[in-house]
Structure 1
Amino acid sequence: MTKVNLITGFLGSGKTTTLRHLLAHKPADEKWAVLVNEFGEIGIDGALLADSGAVLKEIPGGCMCCVNGLPMQVGLNMLLKQAKPDRLLIEPTGLGHPKQILDMLGAAVYQPWLTLHASLTLLDPRQLRDERVVQNENFRDQLAAADIIVANKQDRQEPADRDLLQHWQAANLKGRRLVEAEFGKIDPALLDEPRLNQRVLPDAAEHHAHSHPPSALSALRLDNNTRWRRALNQGQGYYACGWVFDADTVFDTIGLLEWARLAPVSRVKGVMRIPEGLISINRQGADLQIETRQSTPPDSRIELIDEQAAEWNTLQSALLKLRLENKA
């Protein structure tokens, strides 16, 4: 029997960082798996979690929360039957609605295979002062579906953010648990809390669009001698553009960071090769975080998300000029 947790949270709330923390504290005698989905087609989280020691399955942009749920069912079935993990952590896109996933996990067909434990939703309390986020139905329903709310990024908050969180907690939690965290560092024991929240959620508005039919159960990959590719996606009032580059492409460090910092979009996330090795980039609004590592990734990939379609061709031209060698 596989223990399953749904870990949700809006864009930039810190889901992937939290997953990495939890996986780093996995019991040595247990086998864990992660089913991950992102809004875009590129698949950044898979690269960030690749060295976590867990079995990883990626689902293409937006498909996990779609009403038909077919890619989600296929990915879930493969993990349960082939990997047979002791625990499965499911990370939907930050723009995803949890209803279809929770309904599927609670279906009778899965009862012999899995036990649904507490659903965790990551919240950056600063999002509570962004009216566009607060009015987003997926943001509201992710929080409504959670057994445990993780008020993340405590190190980034102002006193006004804490006051707003307290007001929101008093009006919305109604007996559910709220824990505070920095950098996603939560107690792994939270995963063993029971699934108690039986609130009935409304059906999500189905307005996700794909740049191409979702025929593969993995993030965008390069084939043949292709040096790089671009993928577009849109839905839920957001637009995404991402690029993947081969392993021989190396980027200028300072130029890349400036490109990510100044890109006129609300969200930037990537794992890129630079002369020093590997750098992960995570930007939400003006909040830019970078982390360097020594491991060598199989490729480089970066994605931009915004509430409106940006000048993708202009951003692409600037990014391509930052390649240091083997330009193609």
Structure 2
Amino acid sequence: MNVLSSAAAVPVHIISGFLGAGKTTLLKHLLTQKPEHETWAVLMNEFGQIGVDQQLLPQDQGYAVKELLGGCLCCSSQLPMQIALSRLLSESKPHRLFIEPTGLGHPSQLLEQLTEPHWLNHLNMQALVTVIDGSRLHDSAWTKQNLYADQLKAAHIVVISHADLMTDADQSALVQLQAEYAVYKQQWLITEHGKLDIAAIQQAYAGSPRRIQPLLKIQREQASEQAETIIQQLPYHYVEQAQGYTVAGWKLPKRWKFQCMDVLDLLCEQQDWLRIKAIFHTDEGWKSFNFNPEQFNYQSCEEAIDNRIEVIYQHSHDWSDFESSLLKCRIDALP
């Protein structure tokens, strides 16, 4: 049952960043800018089982703060996050919502969840903010970590914290970093002690609405004059545009099982992509695939709620052949 009311969509800010970047300090300053007559809410995620950051935020009337402990709300089962968010919205009825994922989280996956069609009438997603520690930019061992790069690539707005502690080496590294990520067309902001005017991050999320459609195979089989199928359950396929990139994805029923090596071969055969992420139920158990042009990682993972894959390209792409090949990797009995 949907516990959300039909009230106007709530502006939602995701404040992400690597461990110790200064997310909570920034969030505390943003919360001080709440108009007296409004209620603002915060959904925080701690990777461990003991929450600390919640105690650092305002406990006054007009603020609603909720923590999710244990694991990462970005990439674990969506159900706890969906329930917590629905309750926070229905019980507190906030005028604005901030979400601070753990420093070990993947904000792009969280953004994917919150831009699903069933949230569109309730959440007004704002530009995703990633905070990075300016005083550590000289440390390449820190900045070259895959998770650090993932969080930076996901950002629409990059906030540089601890600017007062930056050395000449940090300043030089910042110039290089901005050049490296220029293709993402991000806005870069410098802060000291987390002080930032909230108007600077009040920018609507620029991604196009996700268009959910039947699998391409099913679409070809439908008569052209047939009314467009309304997607109510898996499987489905979607394509969206975000930050100048094309993102295509498939979500397939959990009961479908795939030949692990066939899936791996298919992914390795693809050309000119920027990122591939997937979770599949295979003959070798549940497997996660996390590919970037420098590294092809795949490993066993916990049971997921469905099979899914997402591929990012910098240009348009014909997905029909890929989908056909993917479906040929399926080994369970067809319905």
TM-score category of the 2 structures, normalised to the smaller one: 0.5 to 0.7
2:89 partner letter: L
Contact kept in structure 2, 1:118 and 1:190, CA below 8 Å: no
Is 1:107 matched up with 2:116?
A: yes
Contact kept in structure 2, 1:34 and 1:56, CA below 8 Å: yes
Q: Which of 80, 83, 93 is the matching residue for 1:84?
A: 93
* TM-score, reference length from structure 1: 0.59
Is 1:38 matched up with 2:38?
A: no
| Offset at residue 132 of structure 1 (A) | 3.6
Is 1:3 matched up with 2:15?
A: no
Q: Residue in 2 aligned with 1:56?
A: 65
**Distance in 1 separating the partners of 2:134 and 2:301:** 29
- Taking the TM superposition and a 5 Å limit, the aligned residue runs for 1:85-234 are 85-174=94-183, 175-196=185-206, 198-199=242-243, 200=247, 202-203=276-277
1:115 partner letter: N
| Offset at residue 74 of structure 1 (A) | 1.3
| Offset at residue 21 of structure 1 (A) | 0.1
**Distance in 2 separating the partners of 1:65 and 1:173:** 25
Q: Residue in 2 aligned with 1:28?
A: 36
| Offset at residue 32 of structure 1 (A) | 0.6
Q: Residue in 2 aligned with 1:14?
A: 22
1:134 partner letter: T
5+ residue gaps, structure 2: 1-8, 208-241, 248-274, 278-288, 291-297, 303-335
| Offset at residue 50 of structure 1 (A) | 4.2
**Distance in 1 separating the partners of 2:115 and 2:22:** 26
| Offset at residue 66 of structure 1 (A) | 2.3
**Distance in 1 separating the partners of 2:135 and 2:301:** 29
1:19 partner letter: L
- Structure scoring higher RCO (CA < 8 A, sep ≥ 6) equals 1
Partner deviation per Cα, 1:203-250 (whole Å, 9 max, x = no partner)? 38699999xxxxxxxxxxxxxxxxxxxxxxxxxxxxxxxxxxxxxxxx
The 4+ residue runs of structure 1 with deviation greater than 4 A are: 199-202, 204-210
| Offset at residue 41 of structure 1 (A) | 1.5
Partner deviation per Cα, 1:178-208 (whole Å, 9 max, x = no partner)? 0100111111102311212625565386999
Q: Residue in 2 aligned with 1:300?
A: none
| Offset at residue 167 of structure 1 (A) | 1.1
Contact kept in structure 2, 1:97 and 1:142, CA below 8 Å: yes
Q: 1:187 to 1:102 in 2, by over 3 A?
A: same
Task: Figure out how many residues of one structure are paired with residues of the other and give that number.
Answer: 210
Any idea what SS the aligned residue of 1:28 has?
Answer: coil
- Taking the TM superposition and a 5 Å limit, the aligned residue runs for 1:253-292 are none
| Offset at residue 62 of structure 1 (A) | 2.2
Q: Percent identity?
A: 41
CA RMSD of the aligned region, Å? Answer: 2.4
2:84 partner letter: G
* TM-score, reference length from structure 2: 0.58
Partner deviation per Cα, 1:62-116 (whole Å, 9 max, x = no partner)? 2312242222111111112221111110000011111221111101101111110
